[in-house]
Structure 1
Amino acid sequence: MESKRQQKFAGILQEELAAIFQREGAEYLPNTLVTITKVRVSPDLAVAKVYLSFLSTNNTALSISTVNSHAGEIRYKLGARIRHQARVVPTLTFFVDDTNTYVEHMDKIFEKISKERTSSEEETTED
């Protein structure tokens, strides 16, 4: 469980990274909208795991590897933005947030179950 300090710092990082991707994200991923969905920070605030969601991209694996290849540059820009709020600029590691994909998958499963249940109920009422 994250401490209040970690949560507050993660919120600052999420806000500043969102601004960086909004203004300069086209340099890394042209024609792709990047959303920072979650930031997790280590207890010593030295490492941050950043979860990203991509819109209008066909290959999320390529997108995340592109962002990870520019992690040092993004960290430098982040450091310039938070230099008065933090002593240490954390090392950034980017991950794909596949929550939406998981939700869509679960919706399809529930829909299939519902259709099967409805069809089986119709068969039992016909008998």
Structure 2
Amino acid sequence: MESKRQRQVAEIIRRHFGMLLQQEGAYIYGPEPLVTVTNVKMTPDLGLARIYLSVYNTDNKQAVLLEMEDAYPRLKQALHGRIRKQLRRMPELEFFLDDTLDEMERVNRLLDSLRSSSPASSEEE
């Protein structure tokens, strides 16, 4: 269970890292992909932030994640510049792909296909 401070720090990082990606993201992974921060989880010691990202407008999501990991020092320094007055110590960052929305879309397509085939069978009864 997360503490109140973990949630507060996660929200600060989520908000500021999202703004950072809006402003600097095109220089890191190009203008095409759209990357959004979906969630941030903090370790209990606040030393590590796990940042979950959704990537749209590209077929190779893993490549975008690798480009962000290559730009890790730049991203960490830019984020530290934004939050240094709110946090004493800058946590390490880890990036993860969040496939929740993709899975939700896939399930919705499956449900829609079931619904479209269902009225034909109910008319026969």
- TM superposition score normalised by structure 2: 0.90
Shift of 1:55: 2.8
Q: How does 1:1-127 map to 2 (within 5 A)?
A: 1-31=1-31, 32-124=33-125
Structure 2 counterpart SS, 1:38:
strand
> Following TM superposition, by how much is the alpha carbon of 1:88 offset from its aligned partner in structure 2, in angstroms?
1.4
In 2, the alpha carbon distance for the partners of 1:74 and 1:118 equals 52
Contact in 2 for aligned 1:71/1:93 (Cα 8 Å): no
Deviation of 1:12 (Å) = 0.3
**What is the one-letter code of the residue matched to 1:18?**
G
Superposed CA offset, 1:57-99 (max 9, x none): 2211111111122222211211122111112111111111112
Q: Percent identity?
A: 35
- Which has the greater radius of gyration? 1
**Secondary structure of 1:87's partner?**
coil
Q: Which amino acid aligns with 1:106?
A: V
Distance 2:2 2:54 in 1: 22
TM-score by length of 1: 0.89
**Count of paired positions:** 124
Q: Could you say what the CA RMSD is over the residues aligned between the two structures, in angstroms?
A: 1.4
1:21-62 per-residue CA deviation (whole Å, 9 max, x = no partner) reads: 111111111112221111111111111111112232221111
**Quick one: which amino acid aligns to residue 90 of structure 2?**
V
- 5+ unaligned residues in a row in structure 2: which ranges? none
SS at match of 1:53: strand
